[in-house]
Amino acid sequence: MAVADKPARGVDLAQVLPVTAVLLTLGAAVLVGCVLYRRGRLPVVDRVADWAARESGLPAWAAIPALVSSLSLLTAGFGFYWDVAVHIDNGRDSSPFGTPAHWPIVLGLCGLALAGILAITLDKNTDGGAAVHLPGGLQCSLGAVLVLLCGSVSLAGFPLDDLWHNAFGQDVTLWSPTHIQMIGGASLTTLATWVLIEEGRRRGGTVGSRTLVARLMRPSALSMAGAFLIGLSTLQDEFDMGVPQFNAVYHPILIALAAGIGLTAARVRIGPGGALKAVLFFLLVRGVWALVIGAGFGLTSPHMPLYLAEALLVEGTALLVAPNRQIRFGAVAGALIGTVGMAAEYAYSQVGFPLPWQGVIFPEAYVLAFIAAVSGGVLGALIGRALLPEQAPRAATPRLAAGLAFAGALAVIAVALPIGSNTGYQAAVTVTPAGPHTADLLVKLDPPSMADDVAWFNVTSWQGGDLVGGTGLQITPMQKVSDGVYRTAHPVPVDGDYKSVLRLATSRAQQAVPVYLPEDKAIPAELVPAAPHFVRSFVPDQTILQREAVGGSDTLKSIAYAVLGLLALLWIATLSLGLRRLDRSAAHDLSPLTIGLLRPARRTPAGASA
């Protein structure tokens, strides 16, 4: 569809009202069914619950929501990576569901919220442990509350995303507030579901049957650890695709943090081979998704980190430091991930990523990735310990360990956030036609030394469909001819709907020159032609990549990011307190946790009559 037919802001509400009405109707029906069930009016649900408990070996309030959550996470995750590939190759949507990839995302997010509702509704016999008391006399598992929280926050991001686009235009980045809300919520639901399953095992888990359905209702710690690692890796996708809009130093930081958290948690919880098993699950699922999106749908296929070296380091650490000394184990494993692991990922990046890591980002990247990995290792060890069976040994935790680890991770993210640009630089470009819709570029830089030491220097062509064959994304390296003079390694698109941009980034600065930008009346934006010869100044990279992001006040945008930051802190704090409560419940030293204004029911001492 022509660019002019695709709205540059949010869509007309009339386009989303039918789907919204259907979802609200289904949601109301679910809530009515939940109320009727709790009042004993739906005995058929009891029969289904009893069957699920027998088959899975878990209580129904854990087994059924675990099945719903797992399938929903796979559905939403695949939809997410598919959707990013569609936008990178073909540009923005003609309507909210003009892209088929939006359907699995919406259905998956709805399923996550449904899983939380089912977990609360089905849990009639809460008997202490990490249980939570809700308003209205409801009692439920801690995992149920966490699943509902993460799923609901993620689902709420979908309509909020349209409001954001109405105010600020189509800012095509993964890291906008509403995108982070959706992606982060779904990603952290993996951990919340893991908590729910562990509670189910503690409160009545048995062997269960070996049927496929039974296995889906009791996901193994291996699959949950792998899913958790997938969730921790989602915000790397701009780097995976080759169109990052944030500093190059972030890529090793994000990998180090994900590896530190996910792999140490897997090793502590699963035992020998746990980190390697989690990575193999990660590679299998992400590999299948990439194969379907790339080879099956003919779109740009997302790349991914290997994590294999990091997993081997974590397993090796367990030979030196006992994993039941969780804090020490996590810190040592994180230190190895942040040094040897990052060296291995650097070598892999030269062949495995669209934008290989360059020397300009070091040593800063090593320092920040080291802090991220050590912080992540400590946090992962604490997560793994909380998820251990009740009888497993637990070492004493230093009082400030978790707080310092969180502070270290947040500090690294904050330090790497500011993006600079050199707007005084210029490029003189000679365009030589090379075929239909394509041309070779000869670029002379001013000053000549500006590309001597960079994170990347290329022509990025995207959102043009398959006008020139292949996928819609093309990243063309610049080859040095002489001092300050470069040519494209192969012809680049300069026609149609393509946006071709000369991008130059150092460790902390990103700037770009538009080579060709089509006219876009919906923004509105004028044609930027690829004239036979032109001289243009470099501008901040995001002003071109987010060409559709227009309107809205900077103050309002800053407020939105501040609200997102506060929401993220509350979100993480809630998960952290929940994991601490799960950990402490293994020692049976908890008082009931009440959410709301009701006073908790008095617990009956063991051995006393009710």
C-alpha to C-alpha distance for 349 and 343, rounded to whole angstroms: 10
Question: Which of 11-20, 331-340, 492-501 has the least mean pLDDT?
Answer: 11-20
Residue-wise pLDDT tens digits, 188-212: 999 999 999 999 998 877 778 888 8
pLDDT digits (tens, 9 = 90+) for 164-174: 887 787 777 88
pLDDT digits (tens, 9 = 90+) for 446-489: 999 999 999 999 999 999 877 766 678 999 999 999 999 999 99
Query: Rounded distance, CA 413 to CA 416, Å?
Result: 5
**75 neighbors 186 (Cβ within 8 angstroms):** no
Cβ atoms of 145 and 191 closer than 8 Å: no
Per-residue three-class SS string for 452-483: CCCCEEEEEEECCCCCCCCCCCEEEEEEEEEC
Residue 27 phi/psi, 5° resolution?
Answer: -65, -40
Mean pLDDT of 142-169: 86
pLDDT for the residue numbered 281: 98
| Pair of tokens at residue 296 | 């099956």
User: Quick one: pLDDT band at residue 609, thresholds 50, 70, 90?
Assistant: very low
Nearest by Cα to 150 from 107, 109, 99, 198: 109
pLDDT tens by residue, 259-292 = 999 999 999 999 999 999 999 999 999 999 999 9
C-alpha to C-alpha distance for 414 and 429, rounded to whole angstroms: 36
d(CA 220, CA 445): 56
pLDDT of amino acid 225:
98
Q: How confident is the model at residue 64 (pLDDT cuts 50, 70, 90)?
A: very high
Average pLDDT score, the chain: 89
Q: Which residue has the higher pLDDT, 77 or 181?
A: 77
| pLDDT level of residue 548 (50, 70, 90 thresholds) | confident
The angle at the Cα of 524, spanning 518 to 530, to the nearest 5 degrees, equals 25
Q: State the pLDDT at residue 130.
A: 75
DSSP label at residue 234: G
What count of Cα atoms within 13 Å lies in the side-chain half-sphere of residue 470?
A: 11
Is the confidence at residue 297, as pLDDT, over 60?
A: yes
> pLDDT of 368-424, one tens digit each?
999 999 999 999 999 999 999 988 888 777 878 999 999 999 999 999 999 999 888
Q: Which domains does the chain have, with CATH numbers?
A: 1-219+553-577+592-610 (no CATH), 232-280+294-397 (no CATH), 426-545 (2.60.40)
> Which helix (H) or strand (E) segment is 411 a member of?
helix 401-415
Residue with tokens 């002003």: 543
Please, what is the Cα angle at 528 between 525 and 534, to 5 degrees?
Answer: 150
